[in-house]
Structure 1
Amino acid sequence: MGKRWLKSKGWAMLTLAVVLTMTACSSNSGGGGNQGAEPSSATETAAAGGASEAATTLSIMWWGSDVRHEATKKALDIYSQQFSNVKFKPEFMAWDAYWQKLPTLAASKSITDVLQMDAAYIQEYVSRGQLEDLSDIDLSGIVDPNVLKNLQINGKLYGIPLSQNAQGFAYNKTELEQLGIPLPHKDWTYDEFFQWARDARAKLPEGKYPIGDTSSWDGFNYYQTAMGKPPIMSDGGKTFTLDKELFMKFYGIYDDFRKNKIVPPAELAASFLENDPQADPMASGVVLTRGATTGSVSALEQLMPGKLGVVNLQTGPAGGGWAQSTIFLSVSANSKNKEEAKKFVKWFITDQEAGKALGLTRGLPINPEIFKQLEPTLEAKDLLGKEIYDMSVDKALPFYSPAAGFSEWVDTYKKEMDAVSFGQQSIEDAFNKIDKLGKELAAKAEKS
C-alpha cells in the first residue's frame, strides 16, 4: 500500500446549485490531506426553470495504494457525471494513517458519509453504533446469498462487500504429479487431509514435507468451527470458547506429525517467510502445500509460475474455511445524507463503467457481471484466486477476526504453541495458559 498522503482535487460547484457550507473534518495530520475539498453533508434545493433537485456533497474516505486512489477518483467522477447533483469530498491515505484517524472521527461523531471498512474492524464499529444498517439495499443477483448471510452482524448488514476473497490451500501441482501423490480435492475433510499428509510423507525424499506446522489461533479456530463448535471469540469478545477436547486432539495430531517428519522441524519452520523467493516454504521447495487466500495466491504464483493448484480449506460437519469480502463500503450512522450514500454504495459494485475504472484495485469484484467484464484481461494469478473463491463459497463459514482487546491473547496463543512445537512445554500446559487469559479478557469485555 502507498505510504504517503495524497491531495485530492477540488470539485467544481454545480452551476445551478447553491451549496450550504458546513464545517467538517477535512485535514489529515502528518502533512497530506485534501485541500480545497467541499464540506460534507451540504444539501440545498436548486431551482431551474421550475424544476428542483437536491444538490448533495458526499464525504468519503478509504485507504490503499496510489493505484487504488486514482481508480476510485475516476469512479467518483463517473458518478457525478451520471448524477449531476452529487459531488464528493474524498479523503484517502495509507492503511496505518487510516486506522489512526478513524477512531478520532468516531469519537467526535464526524465519520464521513461513506467509508471503506475492513473485516478486522467492522464488528468493533458496529458495536459502537457508528455504522448504518444497510439491510434494505437489495443485493439479489449481485452477491451470493451465503456470503451475505455470513456477513451479517446480529442479523443485519453493515457493509457492502466489494471483492471476492476466501481462505484456501495451495499445492505444488507439478511436483505432486511427478511423485505420484494424489492431488487434494474440493471439500476434503480434516480426516482426509491428515491421512493425505501421512500417505504423502511415504513418497517424499528426506528434507521435503507434505504440509507445514501450525501455531496460530486462526488455524485451530478453522478446525473448531468446522466441527460445529462456536468460534473462539464471539459477542465482541464477551464469550470465549476454547474446546479442550478438540484442542488436545488437533495439536496431538501435529505433535505426532513432528515426530514422523510430516511437518518441518520447529527450527526450520521458524525461518520461513511467506512470499520470499528463498524463504517461502513452498517457493523454496521444502513444503509442498500451504494456506493461501484469493488475494494472496497471486504472489505465490509469481514465485512458482504454472506450478500451482488450489483447493478450498479442509471441511468438517459444519463446513470449513471462509469465502466472503473482507473489504466493504459502509455508511456512517451519523450521516445526514444516508439515502444518497446508500444509493452510491450499491452503484459502486453494480455500474459497469465504474467497474472498468476500478478494475482489481480492491481485489476480484464481488459482482459476477463486473467480473465477467474484466475476465478477458485477467492473468493466471488472478484466475487462481477466483478458483479458490469458487471452490470455497458453498461450504464457507463466516470470517472470524480477533475481538477488540484480544491482541495480547493472539500473541500469547502463538508464543505458547511455538513453545509446544519446540518441545518446551506440553499441549495441556499451553491450553491452560491460553484458556485462562481468554476467559479473563472475556470477563473484562463483559464488564465494559
Structure 2
Amino acid sequence: MNTTIRRISVGIVAAASVLGLAACGVSKAPAAGGGEAAELSDEPVSLRVMWWGGDARHERTQKVFDLFEEKHPNITIEPEFSDWNGYWEKLATATAGGNSADVMQMDQLYLASYADRGSLVDLGQYDQLKTDGLEPSVLDMGRWEDALYAMPISTTSTAAIVNMDVIDQVGVPLPDTSTWTWDEFGEWAAEVTEASGGAVYGTAQLGNEYQLQLVARQMEDALFEDGKIAIEPETLAAYFQLGLDWITSGATPSASYMAEQASLPIDQSDFAVGKSATVFTSSTLITAYAAASGAHLELVPIPTLDGDKTKYDYFKPGMYWSVSSKSEHPAEAALLIDFLVNDPEAGKIIGTERGIPANSDVIDALEADLTAEEKKTVAFAESRTSKLGEAPAIVPNGASDIQTILLRYQQEVNFERQTPIDAANALIAEIESSITAAG
C-alpha cells in the first residue's frame, strides 16, 4: 500500500478500533440483448423521448430523430428536454403521475431508484436492441439486480488533466505519470505551489463519487455492494485525509478558498485560468478545458498505490437511455435506442456531445471527424483498457445524493470541523439510513 494511505489507514485503525464492512467482488450478470422477439407495430406509433442538455445536444438529437423517422415512417418522435436540474424534477413528477416519456435519458446516480420502483423495463427482453458492440463491464453498469434497465450511451474515464504550459512556466517537471504514486503526486504538487510562489497550485482536490470509487478499488474495497454501502470507514477516512494533507502541504488552496470556488463554471475555474497545474476529472472534459484555457493540455492516469499494476480502473457510462414501464410501445422504444447507440450514421450526427460513444464501431466511424482533444480522449481510454477491472455496483436506491453528501463531509474535514474517521462513519451511517428508508 502507498506510504501516505498506509500511514493514514493504520493510524485510523489504531485510533478508532472500528471494523469496516468487507467489500466483495462484483458478480457479473449474463449479457443482455437478443432476447425474446417482440413484434413491431405496422400502425402509427408515437414515442415521447425526454433528455437533459444544452442547445447543441437538442439540435443534434433532433437531427437523429429526423433520420430515424425517415427509416421508420410509421414512428413519430415527440421530443421533450430541459436542463439538468429541471429534468429530474420533471421526470419525478411524470413518473409519480404514471405519465413518463417512453424513452428517457438516465444517469447512474438515479438508475437504481427508478428501476427498483418498477418504473423501467428490462431492455434485455427486446431483440431490437443489440448490445454486443459494448465492452461488457460498461454494459454491466446498466444493470440492476441482473436486469438491463439502461443502455449506456457513452463512456468516460477519470484522468488527471495536466496544463503543460503552466508546468513549463513553473519549471517543476512531471514525475513518470505512468507509474506515479499518491506520495509522489502530493510531493510534486506541493513543489509546484512553492516554486510558483503561490501563484499556481499543484492540484485541485479529488471530489466526486467516481474518484472515490477508484481510490477504494485501489485499496481492494468497494463503495457499494448488494444494494448497500460497503466501503470500510478506514478507506473513506484515508480518502478524506489525502485531501487534508494536500491543504496542509500547500498542494491545494485553503479550505475556504476552495469552498468559494466550488460553484464556478469551468471557464472561470482555477485550472481553466492557469492557477492550477492539474485537475482530476472526466477525460472528456479536456475539450471544454482546452477551449476555456487555450493551453496545451494532456491526459494522464491518476496516481495509484502500486505504480498502476492492478486492474482497479473502469469506464463509467456518461449517461444512459431507458424505457418507461408505462410505455405502450417498448419494442419501438428499444429499436430507437438501438439506433441512437449503435448506428454509425446516427453516431456521426451526435458526435461526442454526449461523451465518447459506448459502441466501439461508432467510435471508428467518427475517427476522421474527431478534434485533437477528442482524439486524446479516445487514445487515453484505449491506453486504460488493460487496467479495467469488473464493473462496480451502481449507486443503490436511496443513495442518489451520494455526491452531495460526499462533498459536504469532505468540506467538514477540510475545515477540520470533523476528523476523517468521524466524517467517514457519519457519511456511512447517513447513507445506510437513506437506503433503509428508501427500501
Distance 1:407 1:91 in 2: 23
Partner of residue 143, structure 1: 134
1:212 corresponds to which residue? 204
- Aligned counterpart, 1:438: 431
1 CA distance for matches of 2:69 and 2:434? 47
Where 1:298 maps in the other structure, the secondary structure is helix
**TM-score under structure 2 normalisation?**
0.76
TM-score by length of 1: 0.74
Find out whether 1:171 has 2:162 as its counterpart: yes
Amino acid of the structure 1 residue aligned with 2:182: F
**Could you say if the C-alpha distance between residues 162 and 430 of structure 1 is closer, same or farther in structure 2, counting changes exceeding 3 Å?**
closer
Aligned to 1:385, which of 368, 377, 381? 377
Is residue 228–residue 318 contact of structure 1 (8 Å, CA) maintained in 2?
no
Q: Aligned pair 1:339/2:331, yes or no?
A: yes
AA aligned opposite 2:142: L
Aligned to 1:122: 111
Q: 1:294 aligns with which of 252, 262, 283?
A: 283
Q: Secondary structure of the residue that 1:181 maps to in structure 2?
A: coil
Q: Distance in 2 between matches of 1:288 and 1:234?
A: 35
2:109 counterpart SS class: coil
Q: Which residue of 1 aligns with 2:349?
A: 357
Report the Cα offset of residue 305 of structure 1. 2.6
- CA deviation after TM superposition for structure 1 residue 228, in Å: 1.9
SS at match of 1:58: strand
Deviation at 1:309, TM superposition (A): 0.9
Report the 3-state secondary structure (helix = DSSP H, G, I; strand = E; otherwise coil) of the residue aligned with 1:60: strand
Partner residue, 2:55: 66
CA contact (8 A) 1:311 1:391 kept: no
Write the distance in 2 (CA, Å) between the matches of 1:222 and 1:324: 11
Structure 2 letter corresponding to 1:153: W
- 1:252 to 1:54, Cα distance in 2 relative to 1, 3 A: closer
Match of 1:310 in 2: 299
Q: CA deviation at 1:298?
A: 1.6
SS at the partner of 2:279? Answer: strand
Match of 2:365 in 1: 373
Provide the residue aligned with 2:256 in structure 1. Answer: 267
State the alpha-carbon separation in 2 of the partners of residues 44 and 245 from structure 1: 53
Give the drift of 1:290.
Answer: 0.9
Q: Secondary structure at the match of 1:120?
A: helix
Contact 1:61 1:91 in 2 (8 A): yes
Q: Which residue of 2 aligns with 1:161?
A: 152
Give the Å deviation of 1:293: 1.0
Residue equivalent to 1:21 = none
- Deviation of residue 216 (structure 1)? 5.5
Q: Distance in 2 between matches of 1:412 and 1:355?
A: 36
Paired letter, 2:117: R
| 1:196 partner letter | F
Kept in 2, the 8 Å contact 1:57–1:87? The answer is: yes
Whole-Å separation in 1 of the counterparts to 2:155 and 2:49 = 22
Q: What pairs up with 1:80-95 in 2 under 5 angstroms?
A: 80-95=69-84
* Aligned pair partner of 1:422 in 405, 415, 420: 415
* Alpha-carbon distance change, 431 to 394 in structure 1, aligned in 2, over 3 angstroms: same
Task: Give the C-alpha shift of residue 198 in structure 1.
Answer: 1.3
Q: What letter corresponds to residue 413 of structure 2 in structure 1?
A: V
Three-state SS of the structure 2 residue aligned to 1:211 is coil
Distance (whole Å) between structure 2 residues aligned to residue 362 and residue 408 of structure 1: 22
8 Å contact 2:162–2:277 — kept in the other structure? yes
Deviations 1:354-404 (A, max 9, x none): 223333342333333333333333323333333443344443464777555
Deviation at 1:126, TM superposition (A): 0.9
- Name the Cα RMSD after superposition: 3.3
- The unaligned stretches of length 5 or more in structure 2 are 1-38
1:61–1:254 CA distance, 2 compared to 1 (3 A) = closer
Contact residue 221 and residue 235 of structure 2 kept, 8 A: no
Percent identity, aligned pairs only? 24
Alignment match, 1:38: none
Q: Is the 8 A contact 2:142 2:151 kept in 1?
A: no
Cα distance in 1 between the residues matched to 2:104 and 2:422:
44
Task: Flag the 1:155–1:286 CA change in 2: closer, same or farther, 3 A.
Answer: same
Q: Can you list the C-alpha shifts for 1:65-86, whole angstroms capped at 9, x where unaligned?
A: 2332232222222222222333
Name the counterpart of 2:143: 152
Moved more, 155-164 or 209-218: 209-218
